Amino acid sequence: MKKAIYHDCCPHDMPLNERFELVARAGFDGLELGDQPGVFSVVKITGAEIAKLRKLSEKTVAITDVWFDDMWTKPLTHPDPAVRKNTLEGTKKAIQITAELGGKSVLVVPGHVNEEVSHGQAWERSIAAIHELLPVAQKHGIKIGIETVWNKFLLSPREFREYLKEIGSPDVGIHFDTTNVCAWSYPWHWVEEVGDLFTSVHVAGCRANQHFWGEASDWVSIFESDFDWKKVMLPLHKKGYAGWLIYDRNPYGAPYHEKGVHLMSKELDYLLSLK
């Protein structure tokens, strides 16, 4: 497995080019990119800017994946077809950017179940969206990783496997977020049951046994987590997972500044030592 970090875990007052350099100094191998106002925009980035980032990446750390923020606020399951189309087009651009930056996968939030969107509608609309994204991803050699996230949808390993079976492509897998699933299940069960389908793995520390639902006080360092990370890491090794292990949520806060990134790198070293 290779160590990576989401760029938003870096100090928020730090320009993107300096984040690449900091992450490299801290001992990471990769950096995950996603929309952040004033720092990175899937829609607004130019070809020249992509070329500069590619050169910077080649000197520092690799790009793990790219994700488009509108997938959360304007989901692929939205009742309005025009909204869905706009998000699809943004996600297609994220795929293109990922390829141009040398990445191998794109993170996709499949949609939401809510008062306006039933489970059946989310299932059908999201699969239709993935089928539209697939030719673009395959053209660029990019895997689609569907994230486990707080969307009241795809809440069990068995359901997720059936969902991917219906999509019917080896180029679509699971971008597994270990701590997201702690809100309703246990991450090691997912690794054991569908670990063979992972495209990438997000990690962060949390207090999963205290009615965890993503409150600020629930996010802690990996060392402060209230469950045994060995239960997650051992089956990952057993499954032969050799992809990215991405720290995606900074538990240290602004006062730590660059030091927080170095501490997160040490935490991933600890996880990788659990064999």
pLDDT at 100 over 90: yes
Over range 135-152, report the average pLDDT.
Answer: 97
pLDDT given for residue 222 in this prediction? 95
Please give the Cα distance from 73 to 3 (Å, whole number).
29
Report yes or no: 30 and 64 within 8 Å, Cβ to Cβ. Answer: yes
Nearest-CA neighbor of 111 among 155, 72, 137? Answer: 72
pTM: 0.96
Q: Positive or negative CA dihedral for 247, 249, 253, 254?
A: positive
Phi-psi region of 93 (alpha: psi -120 to 50; beta: other; left: phi over 0): alpha
Report yes or no: 145 and 174 within 8 Å, Cβ to Cβ. Answer: yes
Superfamily holding 2-273? Divalent-metal-dependent TIM barrel enzymes (3.20.20.150)
pLDDT at 67 over 60: yes
Structure tokens at 125: 């609309």
Q: What is the pLDDT of residues 184-227, one digit of tens each?
A: 999 999 999 999 999 999 999 988 776 555 566 678 999 999 89
Q: What is the pLDDT of residues 6-26, one digit of tens each?
A: 999 999 999 999 999 999 999
Nearest-CA neighbor of 28 among 43, 9, 15? Answer: 9
CA 111 to chain centre: 15
Please state the domain extents for the chain: 2-273
pLDDT at 230 over 80: yes
